[in-house]
Amino acid sequence: MARSNDAVAAMLLEFAELLAISGGPPYKVRAYEKAAQAVEGHPAELATLRSAELDEIPNVGSQLARKIREFLDTGSVGELDELRARVPTGLRSLLTIPGLGPRRARQVYEELGITSPDDLLAALHEHRLRELRGWGARSEDNLAAAVREAQSAGERVRLGLALGVAERLLQRLRPLPQVQRVEYAGSLRRMRDSIGDIDILVASDDPEPIMRAVTELPVVERVISHGSTRTSVLTATGLQVDVRVVAPPSWGAALLYFTGSKAHNIQLRELALRAGLKLSEYGLFEVETDRRVAGEREEEVYARLGLPWIEPTLREGAGEVEAALHGTLPEVVTRADLRGDLHTHTDLTDGVAPLRDMVAAAAAAGHEYFAITDHAPLLHMQRMTTEKALAQRRRIRELDREAGPALLHGTELNIQPDGSLDWDTEFLSGFDIVVASVHSHFDQPRDVLTARLLRAIEHPHVNVIGHPTTRIVGGRSAIDVDLDEVFRAAARTGTALEVNSLPERLDLNGELVRRARHFGVRFAVSSDAHSVAQLGNLSFGVATAQRGWATRDDVINTYPLDELRRFLAKHDHAAAVR
């Protein structure tokens, strides 16, 4: 049974929407929204409260308390019914469009007769909005961008941000005497590129002090709900954190359950049922006797279901359970498999750290080899010149004589709109490694973009295509190219495709890595670091490669240096293939 709180919150939100679109004052709209949040997170069941107690819920004043009372007693609110009657449904549907806002929603409804989000998209494509009073090409473009962004990301945050918050939380919770184990679970543990909320799991026999401690953490902006084994809070950055406590014998089963994904869990539960077992967050039980047969460790639960332990990054219900059953689950690449980094920048272009610092950090990270790939002259704002590149090469050769990783002098070329590149073939042959990337003109037609990428891939000295789709997580969408063509050409020519590890890129993403693998594409999991700290992002790239089922052999920077050099001597490879 859903809590009455949820129904009340939905009622208040609808109120807020209708008020907004019928021109109500913003402070009033905001008051309803805040009240909805407060009610949703209120620990007590609203239906059981007396009117005076309703008044006391933070952000619920006496006026709103009266409406809530009316709703709880009669199932409706007179004032809301009147509002509903005044606002046509076509107009209401426009409220779901991000970046439009109630005032403009009303305007497009009245002046253009737009009554659905699809109508609006059509009007955007036909550039009909820019003609409206108070609009222009710029506001139309902004709206189109907002719509695209919302379609790709929703209210989610990037992996890097969420992981940073989660790690700080773990640092605070781990030392508490009641805490036996604590880990993050959910989409964060699966290392999806965007995270809806952070799920933290604790094993303990004494949850109460832990729950209290959670509400008092310094990052907490607001407590959404505070229960005996589950507490939800909101951080100052608007990120929700759910913390749950389970008894230690249930740890493994709970970790499995709350790591998800839901699709993965459902498949495991079905497997269990077929074996006469029942799987829940408390453990794996025999249906007949209710006896717990596993639960303390994830491995145990998987083993009892006849499966090897499955990496969290693979748990998407995308064939991994079947593959595990058949023993065909690939052994995915790990961070420890990486021997070096093949895409990094220094302060010679847009990096912030000098060459020497980047190299020292690479040595500290244990890299066996390390490529410096500053931008090339065609990305004009970077002010690179041939002279600077050659001077950098001399310094790199000197540094290379010292201890530390083998240094590769590389560059990141700019793939021009027609697919041509910086420098001539002769000069490019002097680099140890060449990355080439698209940095502008993302909106070319599909065939033009495809030809543009293919031309770079076919170039005898291009070794890696950097951030191949140029998507930005929660921002720009991927360029529209024929990826099958790109994958085929990359595999044929011995050109690696990058798995860029910057949390805003993660490009290729897991899904595309998995597709590309079928064409025999090799990958470079690279940091694209512009600072010492960003060198640490490689683990995000590794997780992304894992999500694409990539093995060590698929990733060129797991190769020993001599083998890597053979791969980079691309024209020989191509000649050998021919």
Q: At 278, is the secondary structure helix, strand, or coil? A: strand
From candidates 186, 207, 312, 468, binder to ligand DGT by CB under 6 A: 186
Q: Is residue 93 within 8 Å of residue 115, measured between CB atoms? A: yes
For Ca ion (CB under 5 A), the number of binding residues is: 5
- Tokens representing 30 are 């905001």
**Residue 478, amino acid:** A
Q: Where does this chain touch ligand DGT (CB under 6 A) — which range of 52-60, 172-180, 192-200, 394-402?
A: 192-200
Structure tokens at 365: 């990270």
Least CB distance from residue 344 to Zn ion, whole Å? 8
482 is an interface residue for ligand DGT by CB under 6 A = no
Pick the binder of ligand DGT from 187, 204, 231, 527 (CB under 6 A).
187
Angle at CA of residue 48, ends 46 and 54, nearest 5°? 50
Contacted by 285, from Ca ion, ligand DGT, Zn ion, none: CB < 5 to 8 Å by type: none
Nearer to ligand DGT, 93 or 509 (CB): 509
309-322: b or e for each residue (b if 16 or more CB lie within 10 Å)? ebbbbbbbbbebbe
Inter-CA distances, 233 with 42, 199, 225, 324, 506, Å: 12, 11, 7, 36, 28
Q: Helix or strand or coil: residue 496? A: strand
414 binds, among ligand DGT, Zn ion, Ca ion, none (CB under 5 to 8 A by kind): none
Q: By the 8 A CB rule, do 196 and 155 touch?
A: yes
| Cα torsion angle, 62, 68, 71, 76, sign | positive
Q: Are 373 and 382 in contact (CB under 8 A)?
A: no
Q: Which of residues 213-242 bind Ca ion (CB under 5 A)?
A: 242
Which CB, 414 or 493, lies closer to Zn ion?
A: 414
Q: Rule CB under 6 A: say whether 199 interacts with ligand DGT.
A: yes
Interaction partner, residue 266 (Ca ion, ligand DGT, Zn ion, none; CB < 5-8 Å by kind): ligand DGT
Taking CB under 6 A as the binding criterion, the range among 191-199, 318-326, 482-490, 570-578 that sits at the site for ligand DGT is 191-199
The residue to which tokens 């933290």 are assigned: 200
Helices vs. strands in the chain: H and E counts, helices first: 25, 17
Pair 165, 239: CB distance under 8 Å: yes
Nearer to Ca ion, 242 or 507 (CB): 242
Task: Tell which one of 199, 374, 412, 498 touches Ca ion (CB under 5 A).
Answer: 199
- Name which of 224, 219, 210 is nearest 173 in CA terms: 210
- By C-alpha distance, which of 468, 453, 456, 464 is closest to 568? 464
Q: Are 305 and 271 in contact (CB under 8 A)?
A: yes
User: Looking up tokens 């050409």, which residue turns up?
Assistant: 489
Give the total of residues touching ligand DGT (CB under 6 A): 14
Site for ligand DGT (CB under 6 A): which residue of 196, 249, 475, 536?
A: 196
Letter for the amino acid at 351? G
Q: Which of 183, 504, 528, 554 binds Zn ion (CB under 5 A)?
A: 528
Q: Which of residues 221-280 bind ligand DGT (CB under 6 A)?
A: 257-258, 260-262, 265-266
Complex with ligand DGT: residue 196 or 319, whichever CB lies closer = 196
363 contacts 405 by C-beta, under 8 angstroms:
yes
Residue 107: CA atoms inside 13 Å, Cβ hemisphere, count? 13
67 vs 315, beta carbon nearer ligand DGT: 315
**Smallest separation (angstroms) from Ca ion to the CB of 285:** 24
Question: In the complex, what is the shortest distance from the CB of residue 500 to Zn ion, in angstroms, rounded to a whole number?
Answer: 8
Can you tell me which of 412, 422, 432, 504 binds Zn ion, judged by CB under 5 A? 412
CB-nearer residue toward ligand DGT: 62 or 151: 151
Q: Pick the binder of Ca ion from 41, 102, 186, 410 (CB under 5 A).
A: 186
Nearer to ligand DGT, 252 or 260 (CB): 260
| Position among 36, 39, 114, 195 found at the interface with ligand DGT (CB under 6 A) | 195
Residues 6+ apart with CB under 8 A from 220: 214, 233, 234, 235
Say whether residue 504 binds Zn ion (CB under 5 A): no
Q: 78-86 and 62-74 are packed helices; what angle lies between their axes, rounded to 10 degrees?
A: 90
Q: Which one of Zn ion, ligand DGT, Ca ion, none interacts with residue 262, CB within 5 to 8 A by kind?
A: ligand DGT
Positions touching Zn ion (CB under 5 A) are 412, 528
Positions touching ligand DGT (CB under 6 A) are 186-187, 192, 195-197, 199, 257-258, 260-262, 265-266
Positions touching Ca ion (CB under 5 A) are 186-187, 197, 199, 242
